[in-house]
Amino acid sequence: MKILVPISVVPDTTSKIAFTDGDTKFNEDGIQWIVNPYDEWYALVRALEITEKDGGTVTVINVGDATAEPVIRKALALGAHDAVRIDVKPTESYVVAKELANYAQGKGFDMVLLGKETINYNGSEVGGMLAEFLGVPYISLASKLEVSGGVATVDRSIEGGTEVVEVKLPFVASASKGMAEQRIPNMRGIMAARTKPLTVVPASGTAAKTSTVKYTLPAPKSSVKLVDADNVDELVRLLHEEAKAI
Amino acid sequence: MSVLIYVDTKNGEIKKSSLEAVQYGSKVAAQIGGSAIALTLNAKDASVLGSVGASKVLNVTDASISASDPQKVVEAIVKAANSVGAKVVVFAHDSTGKAVAPRLSARSGAGLVTNVTSLPDTANGFVVRKNVFSGKAFAHVNILSDEKVLSILPNSFPVVKTDASAPVESFSVDVSGINSGITVKEVKGSGSGGAVPLPEAELVVSAGRGLKGPENWGMVEDMAKILGATTACSRPVADIGWRPHHEHVGQTGVAIRPNLYIAIGISGAIQHLAGVNGSKVIVVINKDPEAPFFKAADYGIIGDAFEVVPKLNEALRKFKGANG
Ligand SMILES: Cc1cc2nc3c(=O)[nH]c(=O)nc-3n(C[C@H](O)[C@H](O)[C@H](O)COP(=O)(O)OP(=O)(O)OC[C@H]3O[C@@H](n4cnc5c(N)ncnc54)[C@H](O)[C@@H]3O)c2cc1C
Ligand SMILES: Nc1ncnc2c1ncn2[C@@H]1O[C@H](COP(=O)(O)O)[C@@H](O)[C@H]1O
């Protein structure tokens, strides 16, 4: 089994969200970068589990500049066999998906597992685009995935429930909670990661379809109105009359 | 230039988030001087779509096409968009939108923006606002390509119905050549007892580790029942198995934007807030006055959940009794 896991590099979940350059750029000062949780916890770990059981390789791939490399090494420390970096700063999903497709095309991957979304740009875009570019099925929001005999059985989250689908290899699936349990890299993995191959390939120069013109922050919340614990009727009144929420 | 809106159905019924998308699409159409055409698959009754702004409905009746098979849906959308001359296609950012909109974008070379929370600003291009950083910021994104695909964040645009109606025409598309290799084996309910699914829920009652154990969720479920709300929980509660995974809200769970979010015994960690900060009204019940959640709340009660919640349930029951 040959599995490709696209990983994105995102600010740590506790990062302060601020912008610079006239609100046109994310302020990267003091930011800790991590592998996007969905990609690491679910897509990568499930890919590792499958290859540990059935044999095969897991390649992680990132579209990003050289600053992404320490974070890519973390995915190698968790057990990925090799890594690829496509050398361009990612600015939008169409470009990312196209670059990933250019790389994956013709390399015989049995499946591509990626995250359901990046926690910074919250797109849920790359997986579906990649599948279309590769001409293979796309199973989004997968919470469980088993493969046997060239067919995968996948639980896919839909509103109010789960759809169980069967899909023939190859395909692209996006991973959400439930797919696997988070792993912590051990010392041996971290040491091994240093010498695992990380190949840098040039980008093809796909043109962007969108561009972000500025960022804004939501209006700050006004301060909380506290209601006495002995006066719950007052809360009900406020929710009805003031907030009009019930 | 028309706007095509993909309307998703579940067992033939039109989803609420799709009504929001149609209303949004009709406003975009008015802005760019075109009409809003809705495309539905196997809808039992599409007459409601006129009342939310569609000027025409194309209904595909073909059991071999369903939302579970995005390649076929894309085929239907491309054909419909061509036939009505639509350059803008609108989806709801729900499970179907997430599967289909990116494929459509790649297929037609159309710029895609998901999680959209504003109408386009067409003064300088076609700029829409989207939620980024899990609702902690907005990006204003210009779509550069001629063809555009948008998916609308659910619960962002309230639906206002009018008396208008729209003709429903049947539309056929040949998908016999598409073999996507996907077969649906089974659809399982979430076991949420018929409550509205979390992403669509307007009222949500949620609880965290402060409740000490799964045996104490009775009062949370009571509150949800009284209000007609859906239950949710914090991540650790789902991870230790007190509650099912699909109830986990937050940055790594479901992101929700209900009208009312009641958080009981949840500290309000940044990753939790990331999934609920779009809620219109937040009520926090926590015994620790320093709990960070109070900073993000509209209303709060400092107190022991085991005393406050049963009393609040009584008060809510009384209120519901008096107000139907
Ligand atoms: C990368 C990452 C992603 C994460 N994603 C998510 C996510 O998506 N969703 C999420 O929820 N968390 C997420 N977390 C975890 C998050 O950081 C917090 O640990 C978690 O939200 C805490 O859950 P809690 O509030 O239920 O528990 P606690 O933090 O233990 O808080 C319990 C609260 O209950 C209160 N309490 C205790 N007893 C009572 C009582 N009798 N009456 C009233 N109040 C009481 C306490 O004062 C406390 O505030 C993530 C963490 C990381 C690192
Ligand atoms: N720059 C990138 N390099 C590699 N994979 C990426 C990149 N950006 C996004 N992805 C993958 O695509 C998934 C969905 O991303 P998005 O569409 O941006 O929400 C992520 O969870 C990653 O698995």
> Which three-class secondary structure string do you get for B128-158?
EEEEEHHHCEEEEEEECCCCEEEEECCCCCC
Alpha helix ranges (H) inside A90-202: 93-104, 126-134, 187-193
What is chain B's pLDDT, residue by residue, as a tens digit (324 residues)? 899 999 999 888 999 999 999 999 999 999 999 999 999 999 999 999 999 999 999 999 998 998 989 999 999 999 999 999 999 999 999 999 999 999 999 999 999 999 999 999 999 899 999 999 988 999 999 999 999 999 999 988 989 999 999 999 999 999 999 988 899 999 887 655 667 888 889 999 999 999 999 999 999 999 999 999 999 999 999 999 999 988 999 998 889 999 999 999 999 999 999 999 999 999 999 999 999 999 999 999 999 999 999 999 999 999 999 886
Which residues in B lie closer than 8 A to residue A158 (C-beta atoms)? 95-96, 187
Shortest Cα distance, chain B CAs vs residue A28, angstroms? 13
Distance B62 CA to ligand 2 centre (A): 34
Q: Is the CB of B80 under 6 A from ligand 1?
A: no
Please state the ipTM of this predicted complex: 0.92
Question: Which ligand is in closest contact with the Cα of B287?
Answer: 1
Q: What is the pLDDT of residue B322?
A: 87
Which residues in A lie closer than 8 A to residue B300 (C-beta atoms)? 224-227
Q: What is the pLDDT of residue B35?
A: 96
Nearest-CB residue to B131 (from A122, A131, A171): A122
- The proportion of chain A whose per-residue pLDDT surpasses 90, expressed as a percent, equals 95
Question: Which ligand is in closest contact with the Cα of A38?
Answer: 2
Question: Model confidence at A66, in pLDDT bands (50, 70, 90)?
Answer: very high
Which residues in B lie closer than 8 A to residue A236 (C-beta atoms)? 312, 315-316, 318-319
Q: Is the CB of A176 under 6 A from ligand 2?
A: no
Question: Ligand 1: which of B252, B283, B295, B311 to mutate, most ligand atoms within 8 Å of CB?
Answer: B252
What's the predicted TM-score (pTM) here? 0.92
**Burial tier of A17 (Cβ tally within 10 Å: 0-12, 13-18, 19+):** middle
pLDDT in tens, A72-131: 999 999 999 999 999 999 999 999 999 999 999 999 999 999 999 999 998 999 999 999
Q: What is the pLDDT of residue B180?
A: 83
Angle (CA) A128-B273-A223 rounded to 5° is: 140
Q: Is the pLDDT of residue A170 over 60?
A: yes
**Average confidence (pLDDT) over A20-35:** 96
**Burial tier of A190 (Cβ tally within 10 Å: 0-12, 13-18, 19+):** middle
Do B259 and A121 count as a contact with CB atoms less than 8 A apart? no
Question: Which ligand is in closest contact with the Cα of A15?
Answer: 1
pLDDT in tens, A191-237: 999 999 999 999 999 999 999 999 999 988 889 999 999 999 999 99
For CA atoms B209, B212, B216, B219, give the dihedral sign: negative
Distance A174 CA to ligand 2 centre (A): 10
Residue A92: closest CA among A122, A112, A50, A72: A122
Residue where the block lists tokens 């971290």: A190
| B242 SS3 class | coil
Which residues in A lie closer than 8 A to residue B259 (C-beta atoms)? 245
What does residue B288 show for φ and ψ, rounded to 5 degrees?
-100, 110
Cβ distance A90 to A8 under 8 Å?
A: yes
pLDDT in tens, A41-55: 999 999 999 999 999
Q: What is the pLDDT of residue B195?
A: 76
- Give the A:B interface size as CB pairs under 8 Å: 269
Enumerate residues 126 to 185 of chain B having a beta carbon within 8 A of any beta carbon in chain A: 127, 129-145, 180-185
Q: How far is CA B317 from the centre of its chain?
A: 28
The residue count for chain B: 324
